[in-house]
Amino acid sequence: MQTDKKTLFSAAQPSGVPTLGNYLGAIKNWVMLQDEYNCIYSIADLHCLTVRREPKELRAKSLELLALYIACGVDPEKSCLFMQSHVPAHAELTWILNTLAYPGELGRMTQFKDKSKKHADNVNMGLMDYPVLMAADILLYGADVVPIGVDQKQHLELTRDLAIRFNNRYSETFVVPEPIIPGIGAKIMSLQDPERKMSKSDPNENSYVSLLDDEETVIRKFKRAVTDSDNSIRFSADKPGISNLITIYSAVTGENISCTEEKFAGKGYGEFKIAVGETVAAAIAPVRKKTLELLSDKAYLDEVMKNGADRAGYLANKTLSKVYRKVGLYSPERKK
């Protein structure tokens, strides 16, 4: 890794097949940022355990997400790509940071409160500690910047607080990271309820496009997208459905919003929905194909994972030893 570049860390949970929303909002950015930064990307499988998962499914989804990232253009030669659980330092640093984190501040986290309601039968310590594990992820690599969605902003603030708290108590150790939050255009809404974010956990499959949907499915989902009855293709706050489709079309083609409006001026919704569907289908077809190809070469994926864990582990352990020393954990002298 080159040292003249800043370090960037990000991670995603292997909780399901990413959607078009995840692609346009996050994954595309991960790919783009690879030249500008030393990028470290992790599959947050430990975070995933904070809600109940079918073990077999978690394993399969983790591998699938790794393949998907590579298929989307995350280059394992350029960036460090690894599974969080393969680098034990993440859990180890979490323990140390736990001694600086207060139950009050963790209990106040919006996501903790939301998830506690949603999974009322399984409010476990891991769910509450989720943001501390996230802080460990980031601080282990001295990340300068962290691309995240708005929903994770509060967690990044906690990461900064913990870093500053540690530095004040034990002397300067951690880099205090800055968030990178993608622009508004990147927020993709549900195709069935355009007031809500597109989400892979939505029980209505027509509400989201998965990156592994085939062409026909993608087009069908766009044909069924909920719009208004005004039949004019115009971006406007009171037309959330059609505005969402305009956003999607513009994000995929790289054209701006007014360009898209002009292109479809005078056309009907039916025609526009098919155009959006076909454009999206064409954009994700190669991703789907490449992902399936990669998934049939498990030896390659295992190799990528192992290399990633070696590289990440080397960096993470350097930070962890420093932390252990600073807090006063005894370590025997090593013979040279």
Kindly list the residues in this chain that would bind ligand TRP in the complex (CB under 6 A): 9-13, 44, 47, 134, 137-138, 146, 148, 152
Q: How far is the CB of 296 from ligand TRP (least distance, A)?
A: 28
Nearest to 291 by CA among 126, 116, 76, 66: 66
Q: Which of 61, 197, 221, 273 is catalytic?
A: 197
Instruction: Answer yes or no: are the C-beta atoms of 142 and 156 closer than 8 Å.
Output: no
Q: With respect to ligand TRP, which residue has the nearer C-beta, 189 or 233? A: 189
Report residue 179: phi and psi, to 5°: -80, 150
In DSSP terms, 7 is beta-bridged to: 38
Clarify whether 200 is annotated catalytic: yes
Catalytic residue among 6, 200, 223, 326: 200
Specify whether 197 is catalytic: yes
**In the complex, minimum distance from the CB of residue 93 to ligand TRP, in angstroms, rounded to a whole number:** 12
**Residue number with the smallest Cβ distance to ligand TRP:** 11
* Cα–Cα distance list, 283 to 6, 82, 286 (Å): 30, 26, 7
Q: Is 117 a catalytic residue?
A: no
Spell 216-239 as b/e; 16+ CB within 10 A means b. Answer: ebbbebbeebbbeeeeebebeeeb
| Minimum CB distance to ligand TRP smaller for 146 or for 252 | 146
The catalytic position among 115, 221, 239, 273 is 115
CB of 285 to ligand TRP, least distance (A): 26
CA distances from 223 to 242, 244, 272, 278 (A): 12, 14, 9, 10
Choose between 137 and 213: whose C-beta lies nearer to ligand TRP: 137
> With respect to ligand TRP, which residue has the nearer C-beta, 26 or 67?
26
Cβ 315 to ligand TRP shortest distance, Å: 15
Catalytically active residues, by annotation: 115, 197, 200
